[in-house]
Each structure stands twice: as C-alpha cells, then as structure tokens.
C-alpha cells in the first residue's frame, strides 16, 4: 500500500470516527428521546443535558471529546511508522472535526463540534487544549452562556496555538476549526446580541417530558 493511500485511509477513518453521534447513542442507551427532537435539536452534550439526564450528557461529552483525541493519537502513532509529517495530522484533525459537524450517519447534520474540537486540541498539545478549555470554563462559570464560551474559546484557540507553536501547519488546521466553530454558533451570536440567548440552567426542559417522548415513541414502535 502506497503512502498516499495510507494517508487517504487515515483521513477517511478519522472522518468516520468523527461521524459517530454519541448524543444519539447515549440517548438511546438511557432510554431518552432523540436529541434532535427537542431543545436546540442539536446532537450535542449541551442539548442532551436539557433532557435532565446528566449521565447521558456526560457520556455524550466524553465520547465526543475522546473521538477527537483518539484520531490525533492514532495518526501520530501510526503515521510515524510511515514517515508522515504533521501535515497528515492536520488533515486528520480536520477530518474528525468535520465528521462531527457533518456526519454521514446523520445525513450530514451533526453537532456544533465544541467537545470534539477540545479533544483534538488536547491531543495536539495538552497545554493548548488546557488553555482553551480554561477559557471556555471561565466564560461558562462567570457569564453562564455555553454558546458565548464556545465562541470566545474558538476565537482564542488560534492565538494560543500561535503563542505555543509560532507559524506551523497545525496552526492552519486550528484556525479552520475555530472559524467553523464560530460559523456553527452564528445563530447563537445573533441571539446573544439580541439578549435572547438563554443562560445555562435558566430554562430547563422537564426530564419527565423528554422521557415521555421516548416512552411514547417506544409504544408507537411496539404497536
């Protein structure tokens, strides 16, 4: 197998890994409604949390984060055996991230990519990942806006990357990921500017109502 084919296989595998919808998987495991049917209809951890089931939200968050980490770790480990440079790692980073945003398993309608991006950044450089994560946590705990935290963290990620690495091919990948994250949160930004964006915990969907949808769906399928 040629190096080019191996590189292409790594990128495709990263995309498929990124496409795994942990929000949907965890919701099914815990007997909840499909996260695309309530709240923001976004298949991500924040929306799963609106079901009232913290366990399902935690599984979603961890799964989305780990798939980002795993793609980079595997690319670096196996890529070294074939002499691949950081350029391949950058492509894998983009592939797993955009796999989450546009997953083949959900007809290319995925989540907003915050957790997966965090996993990618942590695997690329733990200090970079921690710096961005600290920025996100600071905004979340002080202002209570998950979307604003994501926007600020995305905007600062390339700046942190430049500080840690200087000019680097991976910096370009981080910049693209940051722009995509901001683009995915554009509607949130508009609501923030209009003062209509809900804060974390301000509006909760009753856990019973979401579980009721799931039970209703189950009865409908059985009948």
Please report which confidence band the pLDDT of residue 2 belongs to, taking 50, 70 and 90 as the band edges: confident
Q: What is the mean pLDDT of residues 83-101?
A: 92
**Which pLDDT score is estimated for 209?**
46
Answer whether 160's CB lies under 8 Å from 206's CB. Answer: no
Residue 60 has pLDDT above 70, yes or no: yes
**Which pLDDT score is estimated for 122?**
97
- Cβ contacts of residue 172 below 8 Å, gap of 6+? 90
Q: What is the mean pLDDT of residues 94-121?
A: 96
Answer whether 59's CB lies under 8 Å from 36's CB. Answer: no
- What is each CA distance from 10 to 7, 76, 92, 103, 123, in whole angstroms? 5, 11, 7, 16, 16
213 against 137, higher pLDDT: 137
Q: What is the mean pLDDT of the chain?
A: 88
**Which pLDDT score is estimated for 111?**
94
Locate 65 and state its tokens. Answer: 């984060």
**Which pLDDT score is estimated for 54?**
93
Return the top range by mean pLDDT from 50-54, 56-60, 190-194. 56-60
Residue 131 has pLDDT above 80, yes or no: yes
**pLDDT by residue (tens digit) across 19-29?**
999 999 999 99
Q: How far apart are CA 208 and CA 223, in angstroms?
A: 22
Residue 129 has pLDDT above 70, yes or no: yes
**Which pLDDT score is estimated for 202?**
62
Residue 33 has pLDDT above 70, yes or no: yes
Q: What is the pTM of this model?
A: 0.86
Q: Torsion angle of alpha carbons 108, 114, 115, 121, nearest 10°?
A: 110
Q: What is the mean pLDDT of residues 67-96?
A: 90
Residue 221 has pLDDT above 70, yes or no: no
Nearest CA to 97 out of 186, 170, 24, 5 is that of 170
Residue 173 has pLDDT above 50, yes or no: yes
213 against 116, higher pLDDT: 116
């Amino acid at each position: 197998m040629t190096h080019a084919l191996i590189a292409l296989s790594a990128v495709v595998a990263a995309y498929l890994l990124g496409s795994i919808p942990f929000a949907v998987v965890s919701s099914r495991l815990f007997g909840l409604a499909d996260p695309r049917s309530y709240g923001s209809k976004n298949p991500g951890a924040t929306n799963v949390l609106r079901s009232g089931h913290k366990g399902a939200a935690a599984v979603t968050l961890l799964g989305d984060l780990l798939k980002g980490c795993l793609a980079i770790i595997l690319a670096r480990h196996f890529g070294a055996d074939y002499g691949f440079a950081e350029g391949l790692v950058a492509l894998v980073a983009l592939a797993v991230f955009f796999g989450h945003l546009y997953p083949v398993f959900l007809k290319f309608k995925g989540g907003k990519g915050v957790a997966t991006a965090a996993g990618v950044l942590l695997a690329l450089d733990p200090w970079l990942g921690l710096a961005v994560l600290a920025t996100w946590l600071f905004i979340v705990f002080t202002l209570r806006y998950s979307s604003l935290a994501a926007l600020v963290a995305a905007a600062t990620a390339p700046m942190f990357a430049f500080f840690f690495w200087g000019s680097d091919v991976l910096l370009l990948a981080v910049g693209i990921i940051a722009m995509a994250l901001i683009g995915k949160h554009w509607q949130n930004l508009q609501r923030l500017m209009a003062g209509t964006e809900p804060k974390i915990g301000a509006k909760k969907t009753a856990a019973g109502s979401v579980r009721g949808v799931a039970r209703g769906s189950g009865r409908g399928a059985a009948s």
